[in-house]
Amino acid sequence: MTAFARLWRAHRWLVVAFCLASLLALGFGARSVLSWVYWSDPARRDATLEGWMTRLEPGEGRRLTLAGIAEARGVPLAEVEEALIAAILAAREGR
Amino acid sequence: MTEWLLALVPVWGLWLVGATTFLSCLALPVPASLVMLAAGGFAAAGDLVLWQVAGAALAGAVAGDHAGYLIGRRAGAAVLARLARAPARAAAVARARATLHRNAAATVFLSRWLLSPLGPYVNLAGGATGLPLVRFSPAEIAGETLWVAAYTLLGYAFADRIVALGGLLGNASGALAAGAVAVLLGLRLRGALRDRAT
């Protein structure tokens, strides 16, 4: 009887658990490497704007999230995001 | 749910950070690492204060770990006693308890940060096997301090790349935890092979 067959007979659940854990480790490892490669591209580093983000501005008090600003102005979130992106690009040009 | 939770970080601030780390230490599926990264990022933007973020996260984590330990002590001990009724399993339970208690400090410490997905189960096992609190708590607090400091500082430093960082760290810690379990099971299998061979 081969070593594997012996293990399978005596410790079936241990073998199954070992295979599952190894597969999980490989899967997560592959995903880590892929996301590392993906985010290494400088073009992808600019984060997409999300409704939960707040604007960087000096001053006291709690800041509004982008979604909050859109709501206060009564315009869609996309409009606030567009204005913000235009402002960021303008600031980069000026640098 | 992640989007929704991140939207609440600037609104509920420290309470949300503490509640998330508390729940994650009980193995509930909340994205604690991402919330800590985001809170660190909000601290960089001036919406929150960094030491307060770290303090709230640490308080939540330490409370959560001890809650898990107590649950293990109350409910887990009975489960273990029932398992140990069969003589074959009694030996396995005794062996597992001895192994855990022999390596308690390292197991508890490393399962807070390096192998953090395993943390909640170590809490339950520690309580269920009657690991004394004087051996559990110091390693627990030291490990959680490292975990909280790492995530909030990373969020503070890389505030503009939180989502990318969260994904990378989540996958990497999953790989490390699953890898550690695979290595431990592999060692047991090798031991079983040797026992048979001799």
Q: Which residue of A has its CA nearest to B166?
A: A35
Report the alpha-carbon distance of residue B141 to residue B149 in Å, rounded: 12
Domain that holds residue A23: 3-43
Report the alpha-carbon distance of residue B13 to residue B47 in Å, rounded: 9
- State residue A15's pLDDT score: 92
Nearest to B116 by CA among B146, B86, B92: B146
| Inter-residue contact B16 to B52 (CB < 8 Å) | no
- State residue B18's pLDDT score: 96
Facing B175 at nearest CB: one of A17, A25, A63: A25
Interface-testing mutation among B181, B184, B194, with chain A (most A C-beta atoms within 10 A):
B181
What residue segments make up the domains of chain B, in order of their start? 2-197
Question: Which residues of chain B are under the pLDDT cut of 70?
Answer: 1, 196-198
Facing A47 at nearest CB: one of B47, B160, B171: B160
Residue A55 and residue A84 in one domain: yes
Residue A27 and residue A54 in one domain: no
Residue A50 and residue A87 in one domain: yes
Residue A52 and residue A90 in one domain: yes
Residue A61 and residue A36 in one domain: no
Once rounded to an integer, what is the mean pLDDT over residues A58-79?
77
Token duo for residue B14: 């420290």
More confident residue, A39 or B100: B100
- State residue B161's pLDDT score: 84
Interface-testing mutation among B183, B185, B188, B195, with chain A (most A C-beta atoms within 10 A):
B185
In the numeric block, the tokens 């627990």 are attached to B140
B9-35 per-position pLDDT tens digit: 877 889 999 999 999 999 998 889 999
Facing A10 at nearest CB: one of B47, B162, B192: B192
If one counts every other C-beta atom within 10 angstroms of the C-beta of residue A76, the result is 11
CB contact under 8 A, A54 and B10: yes
Grouping H, G, I as helix, E, B as strand and the rest as coil, residue A54 is strand
The nearest CA of chain A is from the CA of B134 a distance in Å of: 32
The nearest CA of chain B is from the CA of A69 a distance in Å of: 13
Residue A83 and residue A56 in one domain: yes
Strand partners, A54: A65
Assign A9 a pLDDT band (cuts: 50, 70, 90).
confident
Domain count, chain A: 2
- State residue B89's pLDDT score: 82
CB contact under 8 A, A18 and B6: no
- State residue A82's pLDDT score: 87
Residue A37 and residue A56 in one domain: no
| Inter-residue contact A77 to A51 (CB < 8 Å) | yes
Percent of chain A exceeding pLDDT 90 equals 21
pLDDT at A60 over 60: no
Percent of chain A exceeding pLDDT 70 equals 85
- State residue A35's pLDDT score: 87
State residue A58 phi and psi, 5-degree precision: -70, 160
Report the alpha-carbon distance of residue A73 to residue B120 in Å, rounded: 45
Name the average pLDDT for chain A: 82
Q: DSSP string spanning B43-95?
A: HHTTSS-HHHHHHHHHHHHHHHHHHHHHHIIIIIHHHHHHHTTSHHHHHHHHH
Residue A51 and residue A88 in one domain: yes
CB contact under 8 A, A32 and B193: no
The nearest CA of chain B is from the CA of A72 a distance in Å of: 16
Nearest to B195 by CA among A7, A8, A17: A7
Assign A59 a pLDDT band (cuts: 50, 70, 90).
low
Residue A28 and residue A65 in one domain: no
- State residue B39's pLDDT score: 93
- State residue B85's pLDDT score: 86
DSSP 8-state secondary structure symbol assigned to residue B118: G
Q: What is the CA radius of gyration of chain B?
A: 19
Residue B108 amino acid letter:
V
CB contact under 8 A, A45 and B174: no
CB contact under 8 A, A50 and B168: no
Grouping H, G, I as helix, E, B as strand and the rest as coil, residue A65 is strand
B166-197 per-position pLDDT tens digit: 889 999 999 999 999 999 999 988 888 887 66
The nearest CA of chain B is from the CA of A26 a distance in Å of: 7
> A–B: how many Cβ contacts below 8 A?
97
Residue A32 and residue A52 in one domain: no
ipTM: 0.81
Assign A62 a pLDDT band (cuts: 50, 70, 90).
low
Task: Write out chain A residues lying below 8 Å of B189, CB-based.
Answer: 7, 11, 14-15, 18
